[in-house]
Amino acid sequence: MSTIEFNGVNFSYQVGTPFEVNALHDINVRISDRSYTAIVGHTGSGKSTLIQLLDGLIRPTTGTIKVGNETISSTSSNSELGKIRSKIGFVFQFPENQLFEETVLKDISFGPQNFGKSEDEAIVLAKEAMQLVGLDDSLAQRSPFELSGGQMRRVAIAGVLAMKPEILILDEPTAGLDPRGQRETMQLFSQLHRKNNINVILVTHQMEDAAAFANQVLVMNDGNLVKAGSPNEIFSNPEGLIGNHLTIPKTTKVANELTKGGFRFDPYPLTLEELSRQVAKQLESGSN
């Protein structure tokens, strides 16, 4: 229903000025419905530009992006782009900076109201979203600016989830959170993906997250999409990552060292659990 297709997409900033910068070159990729896609790449590789194009916040210089039945091209009108945005939830980096309303509840129901829900409907959606992100009901009437950093982040994420998006774009959602907050947030998104069939697109620098949660990984470098494949394909080839200025997940590092020592892994372990399970099995069978 909401398959995403990039067809020959190019994007340049400040076209026609001396400052023109070509940020994306000929992107062709298909992101299937209900998938969990991780976009990785070092700083300035074009990840953020790519997801802004997808949400219709900027228009491609050439090429088209198909989101479900809608198409984004260089000539798309604002109302067409608005229609696409209503299907997509976008959690920006440090989303707590977007809060502005007097109360938490009002801020969360702001998105749904903008997309045509009545106030009562929006409040019902907002309450659902608060429960989803684990915010206590007692916070509903508080000012968002009285909350802690972690709670503000939850309010901001709830504000996006309340719009019931079919596609959820996450731009480094765990940046600046403590380890527990990071784990809980990532688990929340993974749960949404599995239970509510939401198509998740995650931009991240944490290779561990990409390996553990995604079922498709896109590797960006210098405005090019250099690789697309399953986490297995991407992470079992560490040279391909290092060549694109990326690190490899710790699990992969350990697995590679063990392979040199005679261990054989199949399937390739992407999580710590999977790695330890396979190591334990091989040790038990005493194949070494």
Interface with another protein by CB under 8 A: which residues? 13-14, 17-19, 52, 55, 57, 78, 82, 85-86, 88-90, 92-93, 95, 97-100, 110-111, 113-115, 145, 159-160, 163
| CA nearest to 30, candidates 167, 228, 220, 189 | 228
| Residue placing its CB nearer to another protein in the complex, 69 or 78 | 78
CB–CB of 96/158 below 8 Å? Answer: no
Rounded to the nearest whole angstrom, what is the least distance from the CB of residue 54 to another protein in the complex? 11
Rounded to the nearest whole angstrom, what is the least distance from the CB of residue 29 to another protein in the complex? 21
Rounded to the nearest whole angstrom, what is the least distance from the CB of residue 55 to another protein in the complex? 6
Calpha distance 128→125 (Å, rounded): 5
| Residue placing its CB nearer to another protein in the complex, 92 or 235 | 92
| Residue placing its CB nearer to another protein in the complex, 107 or 209 | 107
| Residue placing its CB nearer to another protein in the complex, 99 or 211 | 99
Helix, strand, coil share of the chain (percent; to 5): 45, 20, 35
| Residue placing its CB nearer to another protein in the complex, 12 or 221 | 12
CB–CB of 81/90 below 8 Å? Answer: no
Rounded to the nearest whole angstrom, what is the least distance from the CB of residue 103 to another protein in the complex? 13
CB–CB of 240/227 below 8 Å? Answer: yes
CB–CB of 91/156 below 8 Å? Answer: yes
Rounded to the nearest whole angstrom, what is the least distance from the CB of residue 114 to another protein in the complex? 3
Residue 287: φ, ψ to 5°: -70, -15
